Amino acid sequence: MLARSMYLQLFAEGDGAEGTPAQEPADNSNAAGSNEQKNPFDDFLKDPENQAEFDRRVAKALDTQKKNLSADYAKNLDSAKKEAEKLAKMNADQKRDYDMEKLREENEALKKQAARVELSKTASVLLKEQKVDATQDILDFVVGEDAEQTKANIDKFVGIIESVKKAAEVQRATGSAPKNYGGGEELTEIQKRIAKYK
């Protein structure tokens, strides 16, 4: 009898004849309990101390979130109130003047931005004529407040490049560039003179 009940138990846990799960015998008292999934967290919360700690932590998290939202809301509300108070104190003419001033400021900012874009394009063309590839860093360096300042900056920049090129060419042509045998250290004057004759 014992062997038969073990066989039934193994059969109940394994697959049935055609790959379908086998059903447990009807006389098994755990049949209803095995269908339900137990959640270990629910078991953990059954303890009153654990439930109280969980409730305390959730309440604390909600309170912190509420304070953060309240602070942001208060900041935005305060800014809006100040602007509203400022506008409320003004009469119709002052409001119109205030709005016009804001529009003028925005217009000036847009004009400066457009002028800078145009100056960048012009500077790029001028630099290409001088055989200099104009990267954004170079354009940021040479573009000034107006066309005259930009042109002067380009001339200075090109002059610096030309002087560096000439110095490198002279150094290469004369062969006076001392070889550094010191492993990256600056050569002394005597070492430079000796290096000329090597």
CA within 13 Å, CB half, 177: 8
pLDDT score, position 87: 74
Residue 192 has pLDDT above 50, yes or no: yes
Q: Do residues 42 and 53 touch, judged by C-beta distance below 8 A?
A: no
Residues whose CB falls within 8 Å of the CB of residue 153, separated by 6 or more in sequence, listed in order: 141, 142, 143, 144
Residue 126: the pLDDT is 86
Q: What is the mean pLDDT of the chain?
A: 77
Q: At 71, list the tokens.
A: 């602070």
Helices (H), 37-135: 40-45, 48-89, 92-129
What are 119's two structure tokens?
């100056």
Q: Which residue has the higher pLDDT, 12 or 95?
A: 95
CA distance 119 to 113: 10
Q: Distance between CA atoms of 127 and 142, rounded to whole angstroms?
A: 10
> How confident is residue 110, by pLDDT bands cut at 50, 70 and 90?
very high
Note the Cα 179 to chain centre separation in Å: 46
Q: What is the pLDDT of residues 2-57, one digit of tens each?
A: 444 444 454 454 444 444 444 444 444 444 444 456 788 888 888 888 888 889 99
CA separation for the pair 82, 167 (Å, rounded): 63
d(CA 175, CA 165): 15
* Chain length of the chain: 198
Inter-residue contact 146 to 118 (CB < 8 Å):
no
Amino acid 55 reads D
pLDDT band at 103 (very low <50, low <70, confident <90, very high): very high
More confident call, 131 vs 33 = 131
Residues 150, 122 contacting (CB under 8 angstroms): yes
Give the per-residue pLDDT at 19.
45
Q: pLDDT for 115-127, tens place per residue? A: 999 989 988 888 8
Q: Residues 6 or more apart from 176 whose CB is under 8 A from it? A: 196
Comparison of pLDDT for 47 and 193, the residue scoring more: 47
Name the residue with higher pLDDT: 58 or 95: 58
Residue 180 has pLDDT above 60, yes or no: no
pTM, two decimals, is: 0.37
Q: How confident is the model at residue 165 (pLDDT cuts 50, 70, 90)?
A: confident
